[in-house]
Amino acid sequence: MTIGVTRDNITIVLQQPRFPENIGAAARAMCNMGLTRLIVVDPDRWDDAHIRRLATHEAGSVVDRIRRVDSLDEALAPFGHVVGTTARLGGRRPVIKSPEVLARRLIPISRNNPVAILFGPEDRGLTNDDLKRCHQLVNIPTVDFTSLNLAHAVMVVCYCLSTAAQTGPADFTPRLAKRIELDQMYEELTASLVQIGYMNPENPDYWMIRIRRFFSRMSLRAGETSIIRGICRQIHWYGDKRYNDGLKDGSKGRS
């Protein structure tokens, strides 16, 4: 038996696209590859006529279903797995250097989890703040000139998703924690680690980038994020209790 990516669980997310024409061309590329779910985050301009002209009639159904949102957090909240696309490589950006490899990895993940593929603005790509919301990053290899048109990048990734296949049963991947659940966990974890003096409150991201990367490799489930949040709340309670007990002991000593 040959299985592929579960396309109904794949959503393309365009972060702050600048040109309506690229939104339409991206919708057309998705339609060509059998993908239908598109989210557009805070577009620089929205021109329905220009979008539909580049999408063509066949991709009109994708355009009709576009979900427009104001923030990336809102767009990614319901997803159990988020993939960011980047042209820049570096030590702080561990990147899969092949969309084909990414697509094969998503075969088991997409069976039980909604997956978002995130693309950045045409002029600058995704920021480091955007990328910290991603479980993994993918790079489209190029020769000499690294800049790709947004719609072309969408087409390359969608093609790889559409053609990815493996023989035999897929590895089981459970329902993973959604982005909103992870973000809530990271907020409480950051506050707890600052409270106990593990992280510098002036620059918590220095350590949190590494902690996020560690947890991303673990593919946390919703129940596991709840456990970690419970530990964080207990740390807060105990820290506040010790502080208040100290105030009481101090006032006794002055009386």
Q: Which CATH number covers residue 20?
A: 3.40.1280.10
- What integer pLDDT is reported at residue 155 of this predicted model? 97
pTM: 0.85
- What integer pLDDT is reported at residue 101 of this predicted model? 94
Confidence of residue 70 (pLDDT cuts 50, 70, 90): very high
d(CA 14, CA 23): 8
CA distances from 53 to 22, 59, 183, 208 (A): 11, 10, 38, 44
Residue 71 lies in a domain: yes
Residues 59, 158 within the same domain: yes
d(CA 54, CA 60): 10
Q: Is the pLDDT of residue 255 over 60?
A: no
- Could you say which DSSP state residue 166 is in? E
**Residue 130 backbone class (left: φ over 0; alpha: ψ -120 to 50; beta: rest):** alpha
Confidence of residue 149 (pLDDT cuts 50, 70, 90): very high
Residue 174 lies in a domain: no
**Residue 56 backbone class (left: φ over 0; alpha: ψ -120 to 50; beta: rest):** left
Residues 126, 237 within the same domain: no
Residues 111, 196 within the same domain: no
- Domain region containing 242: 179-254
Residues 154, 185 within the same domain: no
- The last residue of a domain, from among 141, 167, 193: 167
Q: Is the pLDDT of residue 144 over 80?
A: no
Average pLDDT estimate for 83-112: 85
Residue 172 lies in a domain: no
Residue 125 lies in a domain: yes
Residue 173 lies in a domain: no
Residues 94, 186 within the same domain: no
Residue 208 lies in a domain: yes
- The last residue of a domain, from among 140, 167, 194: 167
Q: At what angle do helices 48-55 and 20-32 cross, to 10 degrees?
A: 30
Q: Is the dihedral of CA 177, 180, 181, 183 positive or negative?
A: positive
d(CA 170, CA 168): 7
Tokens of 184: 């809530």
- What integer pLDDT is reported at residue 8 of this predicted model? 96
Residues 141, 221 within the same domain: no
Residues 40, 149 within the same domain: yes
Q: Is the pLDDT of residue 92 over 70?
A: no
- What integer pLDDT is reported at residue 145 of this predicted model? 77
Lowest-confidence segment of 44-48, 191-195, 246-250 by average pLDDT: 246-250
Q: Is the pLDDT of residue 238 over 80?
A: yes
- Where do the H-state alpha helices sit in 18-116? 20-32, 48-55, 60-64, 72-76, 99-112
Residues 184, 156 within the same domain: no
Average pLDDT estimate for 108-125: 94
Residues 183, 163 within the same domain: no
Residues 148, 211 within the same domain: no
Residues 115, 199 within the same domain: no
Confidence of residue 31 (pLDDT cuts 50, 70, 90): very high
**Number of domains the chain is built from:** 2
- The last residue of a domain, from among 167, 191, 225: 167
Residues 38, 150 within the same domain: yes
